[in-house]
Structure 1
Amino acid sequence: MALPIDSDAFSDSLVVLGAAGLVIPAFARLRVSPVIGFILVGMLVGPNGLGSLVDRYPWLYHVTITQSESISPFAELGIILLLFSIGLELSFRRLWSMRKLVFGLGASQLALCGLLIGAALYLIGQSWAGAFGLGMALALSSTALVLPMTGTRSQVGRPAFAMLLLEDVALVPIIFALGVLAPQAQDAGLEPLLTTIGLGALTIVLMLIAGRILLPPLFAQAARTKSPELFLAASLLIVIIASVATTAAGLSPIVGALLAGILIAETEFRSEVEITTAPFKGLALGVFLITIGMSVDVRQIAANWPSLVTAVIGVVLVKTIVTGALLRFAGARPGVALETGVLMSSPSETTLIVLSAAVGARLITPSTAAFWQTVTAIGLTITPVLARVGHDMARRIELRRAGGLGELADTPVPEQRVAIIGFGRVGQLVADLLRTHGKGFVGVDADIDAVATARSQGYPVLFGDISRPGLLERLELGNSAALVLTMDQPQLSLKIVRLVRARFPDLTIVARARDVYHAAELYRLGVTDAVPEALESSLQLSEAVLVDLGVAMGPVIASIHEKRDELRKEIRETGELDREPRLRRTRLSDVEAES
């Protein structure tokens, strides 16, 4: 049967697909998470936004959604695919490798935050079962927002990743516990509850066994066809079967989706499945978040803003204090503990899943769930702001801990030392070699984490922005032996060279260059030597292959130095290399546009 072109389902589908097509690239260009964009779009085009004006302006029908229930099935599919993607990120091996952080720090953070928030809600009149559900829901933090901002290997990202990993794992038992606490489950007596637990546990065990046996050959066969469509079909089939199995056992279908993801993560086809399902995951998550945005009524926010602001601040404060205190107890630096606590303080997209499960179990009323959904939507929206605030506060704390900005600025800089601007991996290697040959140095970096780490390792490093004249005065570059620029920021290095050369015409300046064209710009501004990364890599490769072919080290080194001098002369004189593809130049104008 053909779908009428003016049907609600068709119109709503076009709005959702159009929103996904616009929000993801637009917010990516603004370097803002699409999660926030989807929520805002839901608020704008939903029944509480422009959708409420359709009767007055009929043309809005084609760009709005008037009934949030019409895309509820898509939202449920979005939840299932979201949990499937979370499962893909887990795997038993990954959990075991981080077991101390995950099951120690992560479990403590989730339990304490849930307990304190739940206790506060119980004291203001919520039933104990409802307070438990709300406390655990609000204790969760956003994987979709936090990890892209921190990564998984930074000083903030590693503990944040461990806590988020535990929350993803704990989602299944939390939802199961809500089902156990449901009034209908308690009224039915102990026998049905035990039956559900036993049947659910048996189903999960059978799925784990069957997955280990059946999934590798299934995906191997799909891989032999070299058909992405078949790979996608196999992945979705596994999700559907797992969800149906857990539903039949009395558990939530999202339990099956999470297990399906974990099982696939144990196979060698995990990366291919992630790539194949990524577009559908993003779209499904977008639909889910749009429905959340549609549940937010700006007029209700305006009418109840004191309660909403109090709730948001309360949740943020509790989670910040608990997370920060646990990290300090675990030995983290004060700045890292505070920044991680603030970053993890807002609720999560998975909070909305737990709220839905609590409503389905009749532990909380729909109106209560709607209030906390609004709190969660506000929390998700302000997460980037919280991240900025947390970073700035952590920076001040680390500065004070390192002796304060004034004391850092007053640190004496001995004469005839090499000033190294940018004390990351490259700057530290330069410093190590200078130290090996008995040359003094002082480092400068604008990243307080890098400064604090370097100072704790005994390096003389100052915090500051070299482009500011005050720091140039403090470095006394006129008495320095040389200036080394190691940062991978072409525009900044050009600016510094222009500024320094104008004031210190005889100073030796050696700068890291992105390519030969950036090096040529540096030479024009007056550097003594510019070191193009691609050129040096080529020379090192040449040296390695010649030595491996049996050529004596002495002649190889001599020829490498000769070739380096020849290429540098060519860059100085012509501003380019004849061998360099002209379409891949990095001119000053390109760098400025990039900045």
Structure 2
Amino acid sequence: MSDAAHETTHQLIQVVALLGAAVVAVPLFRKLRLGSVLGYLAAGLAIGPFGLGLFSDPQSILHVAELGVVLFLFLIGLEMRPSHLWSLRRQIFGLGALQIVLAIAALTLVLRAFGFTGAVAFVGASGFVMTSTAVVMQLLSERGDIALPHGQKIVSILLFEDLLIVPLLALIAFMAPAQATAVDAASRWASVGIGIGSLVALIVAGIYLLNPMFRILAAAKAREVMTAAALLVVLGAALLMQLGGLSMAMGAFIAGVLLSESSFRHQIEADIEPFRGILLGLFFLGVGMALDLAVVASNWPLIVAGVLALMATKAACIYVVARLTRSAHREALERAVLMAQGGEFAFVLFAAAAGSGLVDATVNANFTAIVVLSMAVTPLFVLASGPLTARRGTATLDGVDAVADQSGSVLIIGFGRFGQVMSQSLLARDVDVTIIDTDIEMIQSAGEFGFKVYYGDGTRLDVLHASGAHRARAIAVCVDDRDAADRIVELAADAFPQARLLVRAYDREHALKLVNAGVDVQVRETFESAVLFGAAALRALDVPADEADAIAAQVRRLDAERFELELASNDTRAGIPLLLNNTAAPAPRPAPLTRPRREGRRLNDAAQAGDGPPA
């Protein structure tokens, strides 16, 4: 066998070993309820240089696997619209800064007590204070907590830590011995300028280039090119930030935020997701491989004591800051346990400190082992703390109640402008309603005006159950996101057949889709107001009021006829009979999976719907 063939075979063996270890370990650890993160870490340790020895250079795996963290942050950015990110500014810069400053000071004192010099203790503290984005985000994702208020606070702190990596690296460079810092001030200012320029270039490109590029590619109707473009955006943003001396993860996050309001957001998310999962798993495998058992064995008293002392100190600081910022005890404890470990950026800081001569190789190895072990034991600590952090009933989160055990006869999902106006008729009739939304600021504002709105994501079945959907007579879906509305309809139609389903439709196409999904009532969000506006315009032109009203009625009638024709065309293809009036008696309940859940009143409010073009 030639050398080239032998090298290819060796690389293929390594790929098979990586995939095989993950396939065996992760399901096993999840079965044991230890989580996938610990499974990946254990698998990496087993096949790494200090286990079976199938890999000799885990750092090379880690460099590639860091792309998993990059893709993860990009997907988080897609969920963070600029307005929402702006609403988190106090948490990012206030809560994040307070936690970091207190934790660095406390961790430095702990390392000083271990006998390290001031500069070395500060380096160790700065590295350990950087929480593992990969570990925390994976744990939050597995539990579905990223979108919840306490999850958003954790994400905010992680974002601040990503921003902090640059000044910390600069500070370590200034602290380095004189011979290692023979760099003139102009050069340092040039580095700062390059970093700022990279950030500005990314934002400008995101605002003016990304959407036009995706429109052109979408018109070409080549799915694989769209996938390639999505990867190009993520990796290009990461590369630009790295060239500017900034965090790759931060670049990917900013790119995601810039695309969060794009009409291509969901397509991009679907294209990126498979790569994100594989590479993030590879990252955890690489971290497991990087745990040098020889270093741990030779310095185990220092390393074990360091892991316990640093994690306990950091957790205590996080808990204190959370309580000072008015978080409930359980939320503060949960955040402390989740974020007590060191993170992947610590490896970058320790490497920079070792390269500049600030710490020696032994200290670097010890600090790295402490961080890796802290990441490895975090899932175990989270599991052990479960009974202490489990939420019972309605947990108060900064004045916002998480929905639980509600029993209103009408469940309103979404309390934006549409939901607020819609709810007034029900409240005027003293109907017992339960209202849920995910906009924290809106919930707090509504509370000031006497409305009780609970925090709850209507696209989750467990939240719908907690909201009382299984007892409700009607479910009103008033969200302004058509994809979310479709998801809620899918869940509610299957799980809550006793409730009539009323849904806010985006346009004619969406309304047709909702009718075929079996909703009882669908109302297109702008049609009726536009018809009334047109009638008012006629009256402003001195057209008699009765004639203006008659024309408005004719517009409604013609729209209803067009809607019925389109629906008949769709239903003929689907084998579904058409009901031609809104007052028809309900038809017998159709068989599952072959016909809509309800046929009666299928055209209800069709005449009061629609902002789409004529058929």
Q: TM-score range by the shorter chain?
A: 0.5 to 0.7
Cα shift readout 1:23-58 (whole Å, capped 9, x = no counterpart): 55555566654322221111111121122xxxxxxx
2:237–2:248 contact (8 Å) kept in structure 1: yes
Q: What is the CA–CA distance in structure 1 between the aligned matches of 2:298 and 2:292, rounded to whole Å?
A: 10
Does structure 2 conserve the Cα–Cα contact (< 8 Å) formed by 1:139 and 1:347? yes
Partner of residue 59, structure 1? none
Per-residue CA deviation, residues 150-186 of structure 1 (Å, 9 max, x unaligned), is 6134454343233223223333443454455455662
Distance 1:33 1:24 in 2: 8
SS in 2 for 1:289: helix
Q: Is the 8 A contact 2:68 2:278 kept in 1?
A: no
1:291 aligns with 2:263: no
1:83 aligns with 2:76: no
Residues 1:167 and 1:125: Cα distance change in structure 2 (over 3 Å): same
Shift in CA distance, 227/349, structure 1 to aligned 2, threshold 3 Å: farther
Aligned to 2:251: 259
Give the 3-state SS of the residue equivalent to 1:346 in structure 2: coil
Residue of structure 2 equivalent to 1:198: 193
> Does the CA contact (< 8 Å) of 1:33 and 1:145 recur in 2?
no
Classify 1:50/1:580 alpha carbon distance in 2 versus 1 (closer, same or farther; 3 Å): same
Secondary structure of the structure 1 residue equivalent to 2:146: coil
Change (3 A) 1:128 1:3: farther
Structure 2 residue matching 1:536: 3-state secondary structure: coil
- Cα 1:543–1:296 shift into 2, 3 Å: closer
Corresponding residue to 1:313 among 299, 308, 312: 308
1:144 aligns with 2:144: no
Residues 216 and 581 (structure 1 numbering): CA distance in 2 closer, same or farther, change over 3 Å? closer
The answer to whether 1:275 aligns with 2:277 is no
2:37–2:138 contact (8 Å) kept in structure 1: yes
Contact 1:86/1:258, CA 8 A, preserved across alignment: yes
The answer to whether the 8 A contact 2:66-2:279 is kept is yes
Would the aligned equivalents of 1:295 and 1:370 in 2 still touch at CA under 8 Å?
A: no
Distance in 1 of aligned mates of 2:243 and 2:391? 55
Q: Does the 8 Å contact 2:338/2:382 carry over to 1? A: yes
- C-alpha contact (below 8 Å) 1:3/1:10 kept by paired residues: no
CA contact (8 A) 2:331 2:389 kept: yes
Contact 2:76 2:256 in 1 (8 A): no
Query: Is residue 2:499 matched to residue 1:537?
Result: yes
Q: Does 1:73 align with 2:60?
A: yes
1:41 — aligned with what?
43
Alignment counterpart, residue 105 of structure 1, candidates 95, 113, 119: 95
- 1:48 counterpart SS class: coil
Contact 2:172–2:353 (Cα < 8 Å) also in 1:
yes
- Percent identical across equivalent pairs? 25
Residue of 369, 372, 381 corresponding to 1:377: 372
Asked if the contact 2:21/2:43 (under 8 Å) is kept, the reply is yes
Quote how far apart the aligned CAs of 1:329 are.
1.4
Query: Deviations 1:266-317 (Å, cap 9, x if unpaired)?
Result: 0224443333233323333333322321222446545544323321221222
Whole-angstrom CA distance in 2 between matches of 1:201 and 1:35 = 35
TM-score (norm: length of structure 1): 0.62
Distance 1:156 1:246 in 2: 29
Q: What CA distance in whole angstroms lies between the structure 2 residues aligned with 1:365 and 1:333?
A: 42
1:174 paired with 2:168, answer: yes
2:481 matched residue in structure 1:
none
CA separation of 1:344/1:75 partners in 2, compared to 1, >3 Å: closer, same or farther? closer
Alignment-derived partner of residue 579 in structure 1:
591
Q: How far apart, CA to CA, are the structure 1 residues paired with 2:368 and 2:193?
A: 33
Structure-2 change in CA distance of 1:343 and 1:239 (3 Å): closer
1:114 shift after superposition:
1.9
How many angstroms apart in 1 are the aligned matches of 2:234 and 2:430?
61
Q: Which amino acid aligns with 1:82?
A: V
Task: Give me the whole-angstrom Cα distance separating, in 2, the residues matched to 1:543 and 1:225.
Answer: 38
1:216-231 alignment runs, 5 A limit: 216-231=211-226
Superimposed CA distance per residue, residues 356-406 of structure 1 (whole angstroms, 9 cap, x where no aligned partner): 44444443334323323332333223223322443423469999x9xxxxx
Cα separation, 2, equivalents of 1:373 and 1:394: 29
Query: How do residues 455-470 of structure 1 correspond to structure 2 at under 5 angstroms?
Result: none
Contact 2:62–2:286 (CA<8 Å) still a contact in 1?
Answer: yes
Contact residue 109 and residue 326 of structure 1 kept, 8 A? yes
How many residues are matched?
Answer: 450
* Structure 2 unaligned residues grouped into runs of 5+: 397-402, 412-425, 433-449, 453-462, 473-492, 503-517, 529-555, 558-581, 597-615
Write the letter of the residue equivalent to 2:96.
Answer: G
Contact kept, 8 Å, 1:114 with 1:136, in 2: the verdict is: yes
User: What is the CA–CA distance in structure 1 between the aligned matches of 2:233 and 2:374, rounded to whole Å?
Assistant: 34
Structure 1 residues 3 and 219, CA, compared in 2 at 3 Å: closer, same or farther? farther
Q: Which amino acid aligns with 1:170?
A: L
Distance 1:113 1:106, change over 3 A: same
Look up the equivalent residue of 2:40 and give its one-letter code. Answer: F
Relative to structure 1, the CA distance from residue 581 to residue 204 in structure 2 (aligned partners, 3 Å threshold; closer, same or farther) is: closer
Per the alignment, do residues 332 and 211 of structure 1 end up closer, same or farther by CA in structure 2, a change over 3 Å counting?
Answer: closer
Deviations 1:190-210 (A, max 9, x none): 332223223333343334334
Q: Residue 537 and residue 365 in structure 1: after superposition, are their counterparts in 2 closer, same or farther (change >3 A)? A: farther
- Whether the 8 Å contact between 1:207 and 1:242 is mirrored in structure 2 is yes
Aligned partner of 1:18: which letter? G
Q: Which amino acid aligns with 2:63?
A: E
Paired amino acid for 1:98: L
* Aligned mates of 1:542, 1:201 — CA distance in 2: 51
CA distance in 2, matches of 1:338, 1:174: 27
Name the CA distance, whole Å, in 2 between partners of 1:425 and 1:68.
Answer: 53
Change (3 A) 1:237 1:544: closer
Q: Is the 8 A contact 2:128 2:343 kept in 1?
A: yes
Q: Is the 8 A contact 2:173 2:181 kept in 1?
A: no
Partner of 2:572: none
**Structure 1 residues 93 and 175 mapped into 2: Cα distance closer, same or farther (>3 Å)?**
farther
Aligned match of 1:134 in 110, 113, 124? 124
The amino acid of 2:110's aligned partner reads A
| Cα 1:424/1:199, change in 2 over 3 Å | closer
CA distance in 2 between partners of 1:244 and 1:538 (Å): 51
The one-letter code sitting in structure 2 at the alignment partner of 1:159 is K
Paired letter, 2:16: L
The amino acid of 1:68's aligned partner reads D
Secondary structure of 1:336's aligned partner: helix
Give TM-score, length-normalised by structure 2: 0.60
Q: 1:322 aligns with which of 294, 317, 328?
A: 317
